[in-house]
């Protein structure tokens, strides 16, 4: 396996790591938001087959490929994962089953790592529970683009996680990785009301709000945090792909530190060369292609998203006064506690 064909690691990436991240990132990491996928689960008629996620060297993102990327990007640190399937691509129930069998097999490569199965509306609670038990899964991964509603960007949680599926997760004490929809992310009133209801109604589910509750902009977290901090102790937050240090600062100051988890969004989103930026009431991924030829006043090459996320975490941790133990908790101990809850149940 030639990692250089997967990871476009450049001089600027190494310089940023050495000068800003080498002394900050602990010796062990537990990444709760890393994706695996197989092209075998994407039928020839799938509209996603031609998208970048299923092109190039990561079309089959195995555990070995992910681990090889992590060894390069984290400079040899010990890394374990909550392995999350890329839910895009499959269309039929059999294609989803192919992806879940792939996830079950790949998860056997590392007993210390957890693994999630993909779910979608139309799967019965009995099917989800049986598949989770047979595959030894620790969690579920749905996605708002699988919601059976016309405007998927306005989907409510139960549009892509029907309560029948949530009940199955609750009966087994599983993780639900939740990528919120709606244009205001976790600051949306319906999302907040649904979280308040669902997290109490299903207390055995461990709810992981991906991308800081989809708070890619500081104003989202600032508007939501007053309600989020009152949610029960089965609610967690992962850092994946968020690049605004003000988001993390608000979280570190207001939310329970023991329930904030490191996530990367590998593969391949964290390998994008650019940064998720906030402006106005919007956010977007600013890419190298968009910048090419437009910057003459400074060094124009962006680093990878993974580095930008880690830079933002570091700046917020310094500003919030996190000590070494709290930083190690963020990167390692909190996720181990989460997996301990699930496997203990």
**pLDDT recorded at residue 49:** 86
- Asked if the structure places residue 22 within a domain, the reply is yes
- Asked if the structure places residue 293 within a domain, the reply is no
Q: How far apart are CA 218 and CA 282, in angstroms?
A: 10
Q: How far apart are CA 263 and CA 250, in angstroms?
A: 18
- Asked if the structure places residue 208 within a domain, the reply is yes
**pLDDT recorded at residue 263:** 98
Is residue 70 scored above 80 in pLDDT?
Answer: yes
**pLDDT recorded at residue 1:** 66
- The tally of domains found in the chain comes to 1
User: Would you place residue 292 in the very low, low, confident or very high pLDDT band (cuts 50, 70, 90)?
Assistant: confident
**pLDDT recorded at residue 55:** 84
Q: How far apart are CA 225 and CA 223, in angstroms?
A: 6
- Asked if the structure places residue 299 within a domain, the reply is no
**pLDDT recorded at residue 295:** 84
Q: What angle do CA 240, 33, 167 make, to 5 degrees?
A: 115
- With 0.85 as the threshold, say if the pTM is over it: yes
**pLDDT recorded at residue 287:** 93
Helix (H, G, I), strand (E, B) or coil at 239: coil
User: Would you place residue 253 in the very low, low, confident or very high pLDDT band (cuts 50, 70, 90)?
Assistant: very high
**What number is the average pLDDT over the span 310-320?**
98
Is residue 145 scored above 70 in pLDDT?
Answer: yes
- Asked if the structure places residue 41 within a domain, the reply is yes
Tokens 């007993």 label which residue? 111
From the list 142, 334, 323, 133, the residue with the least C-alpha distance to 233 is 334
Least confident piece of the model among 47-61, 173-187, 202-216, 326-340: 47-61
User: Would you place residue 65 in the very low, low, confident or very high pLDDT band (cuts 50, 70, 90)?
Assistant: very high
- Asked if the structure places residue 280 within a domain, the reply is no
**pLDDT recorded at residue 291:** 86
**pLDDT recorded at residue 150:** 96
Where residue 161 sits, what CATH number does that domain have?
3.20.20.140
189-232 tens-digit pLDDT: 999 999 999 999 999 999 999 999 999 999 999 999 999 999 99
**pLDDT recorded at residue 237:** 98
**pLDDT recorded at residue 200:** 98
**pLDDT recorded at residue 323:** 98
Q: What is the extent of the structural domain holding 68?
A: 3-272+304-344
**What number is the average pLDDT over the span 325-340?**
98
- Asked if the structure places residue 108 within a domain, the reply is yes
- Asked if the structure places residue 171 within a domain, the reply is yes
DSSP-assigned letters across all residues of 94-162: HHHHHHHHHHHHHHTT-TTSEEEEE--TT--HHHHHHHHHHHT-SEEE--GGG-SSS-GGG--HHHHS-
């Amino acid at each position: 396996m030639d990692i250089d064909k997967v990871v476009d690691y450049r001089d600027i990436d190494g310089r940023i790591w050495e000068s800003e991240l080498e002394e900050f990132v602990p010796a062990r990491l537990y990444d709760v938001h890393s994706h695996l996928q197989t092209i075998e689960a994407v039928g020839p008629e799938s509209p996603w087959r031609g998208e970048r996620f299923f092109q190039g060297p990561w079309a089959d993102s195995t555990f070995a490929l992910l681990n090889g990327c992590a060894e390069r990007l984290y400079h040899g640190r010990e890394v374990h994962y909550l392995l999350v399937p890329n839910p895009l691509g499959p269309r039929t129930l059999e294609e989803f089953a192919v992806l879940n069998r792939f996830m079950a097999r790949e998860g056997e490569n590392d007993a210390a790592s957890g693994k999630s199965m993909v779910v979608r509306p139309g799967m019965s609670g009995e099917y989800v529970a049986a598949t989770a038990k047979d595959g030894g899964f620790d969690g579920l991964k749905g996605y708002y683009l699988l919601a059976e509603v016309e405007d998927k960007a306005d989907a409510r949680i139960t549009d892509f996680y029907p309560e029948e599926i949530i009940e199955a997760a609750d009966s087994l004490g599983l993780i639900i990785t939740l990528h919120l929809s709606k244009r205001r992310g976790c600051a949306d009133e319906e999302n907040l009301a649904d979280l308040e209801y669902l997290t109490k109604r299903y207390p055995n589910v461990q709810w992981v709000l991906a991308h800081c509750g989809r708070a890619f902009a500081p104003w989202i977290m600032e508007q939501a945090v007053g309600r989020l901090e009152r949610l029960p102790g089965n609610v967690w937050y992962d850092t994946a792909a968020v690049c605004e240090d003000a988001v993390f600062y608000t979280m570190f100051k207001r939310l329970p530190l023991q329930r904030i988890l490191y996530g990367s969004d590998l593969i391949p989103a964290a390998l994008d060369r650019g940064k998720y930026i906030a402006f106005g009431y919007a956010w977007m991924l600013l890419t190298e292609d968009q910048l090419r030829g437009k910057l003459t006043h400074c060094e124009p090459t962006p680093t990878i998203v993974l580095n930008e996320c880690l830079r933002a975490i570091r700046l917020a941790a310094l500003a919030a006064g996190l000590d070494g133990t709290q930083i190690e908790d963020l990167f390692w101990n909190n996720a181990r506690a989460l997996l301990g809850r699930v496997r203990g149940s």
